[in-house]
Amino acid sequence: DTGVSQDPRHKITKRGQNVTFRCDPISEHNRLYWYRQTLGQGPEFLTYFQNEAQLEKSRLLSDRFSAERPKGSFSTLEIQRTEQGDSAMYLCASMDKAGRGSDTQYFGPGTRLTVL
């Protein structure tokens, strides 16, 4: 068990609906990442938080996607007006504070989104 949890594990929605995913990182990890992974591909970076600040956002991320980490702990990823092309596994990873000697990402189990 890596300690990063994601909810829900599976989500089926109809095109045009909004969905929200949650990620709970390992306690005290101040760095948090969201990725998207489609079949046959590796994880594709979406966005990065350090504490509550969103410091990096992929240019591939359309304005239908938004992520938050309001208190620097859990994070949410919302997709508005879902499209079939949004069907993918959404992964969350966390990393300990810089300087603690471990620049290792710990991944959660992912949320599998299916848009009908």
Q: Is 107 in the site for other proteins (CB under 8 A)?
A: yes
Show the tokens assigned to 1: 């068990």
Minimum CB–partner distance for residue 10 and other proteins (Å): 14
Binding to other proteins by residue 104, rule CB under 8 A?
Answer: yes
User: For the chain, where are the E strands, in sequence order?
Assistant: 5-7, 10-13, 19-24, 31-37, 44-50, 53-57, 65-68, 75-79, 88-95, 106-107, 111-115
Q: How many residues bind other proteins (CB under 8 A)?
A: 28
Contact residue for other proteins among 42, 70, 99, 101 (CB under 8 A): 42
Q: Does 31 sit near other proteins (CB under 8 A)?
A: yes
The answer to whether residue 94 forms part of the interface with other proteins (CB under 8 A) is no
For position 78 contacting other proteins by CB under 8 A, the verdict is no
User: Alpha-carbon distance 77 to 65, whole Å?
Assistant: 7
Residue 23 binds other proteins (CB under 8 A)? no
Q: Is 27 exposed, middle or buried (0-12, 13-18, 19+ CB in 10 A)?
A: exposed
- Candidates 75, 108, 111, 115: give the one binding other proteins (CB under 8 A): 108
Is residue 20 a contact partner of residue 77, using CB atoms and an 8 Å limit?
A: yes
Which residue ranges make up the site for other proteins (CB under 8 A)?
2, 4, 31, 33, 35, 40-45, 48, 50, 55-56, 58, 91, 93, 95, 98, 103-110
